[in-house]
Structure 1
Amino acid sequence: MTDTLLQALVTYGAALMFITAFLSCLAIPIPMSLVMLTGGALAATGDLSFTLVWALTLLGALLGDQAGYFLGRRGKGRLEAYANATYKRYQLWRKAQTHLDKWGITGVFFSRWLVSPLGPYVNFAAGAASMRWAFFTASGVMGEIIWVTFYVGLGFVFADNLPLATAYAQESLRTLGAFMVMIAATVVILNIAKRRRAVLS
């Protein structure tokens, strides 16, 4: 499937990037990170437009997120039946719910790029939990920009060595995630300290 998909990417270009990004955000099993790396590499060789690849991939991901959110919001019962149909889907569904319970709106942001396999199920879970649409959308947009820019950009830079790009991507995302969690924790600690000083004064 992967080889066929990548060959089709050469033929259909950025339009296929849009379609695959949209479907991947609805839990259709597509190796989207590899697709984006390849799209970036094709842009580096001049076969595709980098701007068009980036923009259509981002648009597809954002629309896929919205579709997943509203599927969760309006079809919770059917969605749960779908998730419970296989053990793997059940596990992802439960992990997505736990992820949202723990992190809230921040969890939507991290699920776009740091724990992207959970992303589609977080979309469903956010809708099923009636998370405020504006918060879901804002957090999702920021996360998707990081996800798409990172992978398409990495494919562009490492066009001659995509296996190296794949290895680099995994390590870089872990490092970036740890850094952002550290920043978030620092902000929380500073806010708590500020409130305590205000109470004491």
Structure 2
Amino acid sequence: MTDWLLSLVPQYGLWLLAATTFLSCLALPVPSSMMMLAAGGFAASGDLGLVSTIAAALFGAVIGDQAGFAAGRAGGPGLLSRLGRKPSRAKALDRARAILDRRGDVAIFLTRWLFSPVGPWANFAAGAGGLRWLRFTLWSIAGEAVWVALYIGMGHAFAGNLEAAGDLLSSGLGLVGGLAAMLGLGLWLKASLRDHAH
């Protein structure tokens, strides 16, 4: 499917890119990151405009986040329980709820790009959990801007070798995620030791 979608980029370009990022934000299995890398490559070669490519991907992602949030708000906790019937989905939803409970705004930002597999589930959970729409939207746009800029920018920079760009991004995001987890664990240990000393 990925090769077929990539072959459509020169023909349908921006519309296809917006549709792909939209669908990925609704937890549908589409290769949105690869599409953005490819679109960045097409922008580097002059087949697509860089600014319009970024705008299309960002538009699709933000609208997808809004649709997921609205579905969560409309369906409430009942929707989350229906979505969580499948064990893999239940795990992702539980993780999204735990992240939202701990860090709300920052969680929305980070699940757009650093912990992106949890992002669509965070959209549903934020809507069902009653997170204010304006807070959700502002943090969603900020996070999606990072996601889009990273992938299209890497596709633009590595236009001749998208596989290398994908590998570099995966490694870099894995490193950032690992460092964030270490920092979080260190802060938790420090707080635990302080509480234990008192």
TM-score, normalising length from structure 2?
Answer: 0.86
Alpha-carbon distance, 1:89 to partner: 1.4
Cα deviations by residue, 1:62-93 (Å, 9 ceiling, x for unpaired): 11111111110111255224413422212211
CA distance in 1: counterparts of 2:21 and 2:130, whole angstroms? 24
**Amino acid corresponding to residue 35 of structure 1 in structure 2:** M
1 CA distance for matches of 2:123 and 2:23? 13
Q: CA deviation at 1:175?
A: 4.2
Q: Which runs of 5+ in 1 are unaligned?
A: 190-201
* Residue 125 of structure 1: aligned partner: 125
Q: Percent identity?
A: 41
Instruction: Tell me if 1:8 matches 2:21.
Output: no
CA deviation string 1:121-176 (max 9, x = no partner):
00000001000111111111111110000100000000111111011102222444
Contact 2:77 2:128 in 1 (8 A): no
Paired residue type of 1:41:
G
Code of the aligned partner of 1:13: G
Alpha-carbon separation, structure 2, partners of 1:133 and 1:147: 21
Structure 2 residues not aligned, in runs of 5+: 191-198
Q: Could you tell me which residue of structure 2 aligns to residue 89 of structure 1?
A: 89
Query: Residues of 2 paired with 1:87 and 1:174: CA distance?
Result: 25
Count matched residues. Answer: 186
Matches of 1:97 and 1:76, distance apart in 2: 13
**Structure 1 residue 19 displacement after superposition:** 0.8
- 1:48 maps to 2:33: no
Q: Which residue of 1 aligns with 2:36?
A: 36
Is residue 2:193 matched to residue 1:162? no
| Deviation (angstroms), 1:11 | 1.5
CA RMSD after TM alignment: 2.2
Matches within 5 A, 1:95-134: 95-134=95-134
Letter in 1 for 2:137: T
Aligned position for 1:138: 138
Report if the CA contact (8 A) 2:100-2:122 is conserved. yes
Farther-moved stretch of structure 1 (41-50 vs 142-151): 41-50
* Distance in structure 2 (CA, Å) of the matches to 1:6 and 1:79: 33
Q: Specify the alignment match of 2:61 in structure 1.
A: 61
TM-score w.r.t. structure 1 length?
0.85
Secondary structure in 2 matching 1:104: helix
Q: CA deviation at 1:4?
A: 1.1
Correspondence for 1:71: 71
| Distance in structure 1 (CA, Å) of the matches to 2:17 and 2:49 | 12
**Any conservation in 1 of the 2:41–2:156 contact (CA below 8 Å)?**
yes
- Contact in 1 for aligned 2:80/2:124 (Cα 8 Å): no
- The residue type equivalent to 1:67 in the other structure is A
1:13 counterpart SS class: helix
